[in-house]
Structure 1
Amino acid sequence: MSIKLVAVDIDGTLITDQRQITPEVFEAVQDAKKQGVKVVIATGRPIAGVKQLLNDLKLDEPGNYVITFNGGLVQETSSGQDIISETMSYDDYMEIELLGRKLGVHMHAITKDGIYTANRNIGKYTVHESNLVNMPIFYRTAEEMADKAIVKIMFIDEPEILDAAIAKLPKAFYEKYNVVKSAPFYLEILNKTVSKGEAIKHLAEKLDLTLDQTMAIGDEENDRAMLEIVGTPVVMANGNPKLKEIAKYITKSNNDSGVAHALREWVLD
């Protein structure tokens, strides 16, 4: 059965280490579109951090979709219409904020509109995230977050500090939330029902596609859910070794246009 939907992660997958789209990847995406294949960016970034890539790849035209916030938000790219939108409650925020303080790890929360931190001395990884995804930072106390539509919360800190905090997370925390490590300095926390995999499942249903007609290309643990749910899971050569164990195919690295290789080898006629 031919593949009709390809979900593609960004960092370490779609773009090079210099954050560029290679000409080979651009051409392969355009050829996939001409063949009627839906190429869907699936990322932990918010929508503001994806818009330029959508424009560069001509995926902002009618009939295209994007998965952001690790599945917390799915939108039609040209209109911005929400297909899926799942937010976290104020009680969730307060619980996670308190836990972060107990563990001694920096934290911020992200809405569609910005990054919110209760750290008066704003952490460098919050600044890094702001620059990466082109979103403003707002300082707000925990009490001022009650009216915010939070899509995800992140523990962000030096890798050794973050790993020490992760080691102390209670089992109940994993039972209540979807917790994924997307970088050595990022731990992302979302609603339990939110994942890239669930977003692909819902989008495939909307497009009247079976999961056998879907492919996902990724490199890191926050891609696991989508790799496990699609018919054809593809992992980058530079990907996490644990993910390679569940891959149907291993493509080239992100610096060697691995997404283009995957599209031409296993999708395009």
Structure 2
Amino acid sequence: MYNRKESERLHRRKLMKTKLIAVDLDGTLLNDKQEISVKTREALQKASRLGIKIVPCSGRPFPGIKEYLDQLDLQDPNQYVVAFNGALVLNAQGNAVVEELLSYQDFLFFEKIAQQLKANFHIEVSDKFITLDHFINYYLSRESWLTRMSIEVCGFKDIAKDLKFTKAMFSGAPSEMERVYRHLPKEVIEKYNVSTSDKTLIEINSKQASKGNALKELAQKLNLRQDEIMIFGDQKNDISMFDVPDFYKVAMGNAVLEIKKRANYVTRTNNEDGIAYAIRRLIFNE
């Protein structure tokens, strides 16, 4: 018979050695108003004071993450973030310590697919979006606002052949993204890391770039064991973290089923201080 209290007691014993907490942003750290709640901020700051590293892990670029670092008082150069779904790991000053980038040839490949599928396509570099589309749809505009990054519309001849970029993206209405995803060539799925953070975006990274791989590399740099890491997430672009066997995996109450099935623990939703609830119960023993 399942005993919730006994299960949580065993979890707490294991998690006394937690040295790093990795948190997704949208739908996890942030509530639906795009805010860190007071209880969540206080719980993470308390963990930080106890010497536990707090690492935001997001599909967002660094400019779209930095304000939340500031809110959590994580400005020290020895604090880190995982950005662009794992294409970059940076310190709190924005200096990259891990890079898994795409190239000009990748850009040509995806631009051709976009034309074939008649899909809105753009790429992300470190500080802006670049697109050949002269029509900027609502979904890219919203992403620009959320990430605090500008949109640059270029002609094909303006794209440098030594281009390096973090992520390719298709954007559109949910039904449109379902159509695009169904018709992506098999080669895309095989050669790249394809994920979604919501139903209006398809995000494509280098095969080596994922939140899970980025956290594993960061753990090596920090001399941490994988069983000393706790993760929080809610969406399919968090699956790579939830597939690392020794991470302690906490799914938000609002998480998709694929995340909940992989979790060690399911907490409350992002609108119910889910991170704070789990940390207080599992780490602080409150």
Q: What range is the shorter-chain TM-score in?
A: over 0.9
- Mapped to 2, the partners of 1:145 and 1:152 lie a distance apart of 15
Cα RMSD of the aligned pairs, angstroms, is 1.2
Q: 8 Å contact 1:73–1:83 — kept in the other structure?
A: yes
1:83-232 map, 5 Å: 83-146=97-160, 147-229=162-244, 230-232=246-248
The residue number in structure 1 matching 2:63 is 48
The residue number in structure 2 matching 1:252 is 268
- Mapped to 1, the partners of 2:248 and 2:97 lie a distance apart of 24
- Mapped to 2, the partners of 1:136 and 1:33 lie a distance apart of 32
Please give the TM-score of this superposition, normalised by the length of structure 2: 0.91
- Mapped to 1, the partners of 2:110 and 2:281 lie a distance apart of 44
SS of the aligned residue for 2:54 comes to strand
Q: Which moved more, 1:173-182 or 1:225-234?
A: 225-234
- Mapped to 2, the partners of 1:206 and 1:73 lie a distance apart of 14
Q: 8 Å contact 2:62–2:94 — kept in the other structure?
A: no
SS of the aligned residue for 1:129 comes to helix
Structure number, greater radius of gyration: 2
Q: 8 Å contact 1:94–1:142 — kept in the other structure?
A: no
The residue number in structure 2 matching 1:238 is 254
The residue number in structure 2 matching 1:81 is 95
Give 1:85 shift: 1.6
Give 1:243 shift: 1.2
- Mapped to 2, the partners of 1:262 and 1:83 lie a distance apart of 30
Give 1:141 shift: 2.3
Paired residue type of 1:5:
L
- Mapped to 1, the partners of 2:77 and 2:284 lie a distance apart of 22
Please give the TM-score of this superposition, normalised by the length of structure 1: 0.97
Paired residue type of 1:87:
L
Q: Which runs of 5 or more residues in structure 1 are unaligned?
A: none
Paired residue type of 1:253:
T
Paired residue type of 2:269:
S
Paired residue type of 2:27:
G
SS of the aligned residue for 1:16 comes to coil
Asked if residue 18 in structure 1 is aligned to residue 33 in structure 2, the reply is: yes
Could you tell me the percent identity over the aligned residues? 37
Give 1:97 shift: 0.9
Paired residue type of 2:112:
L
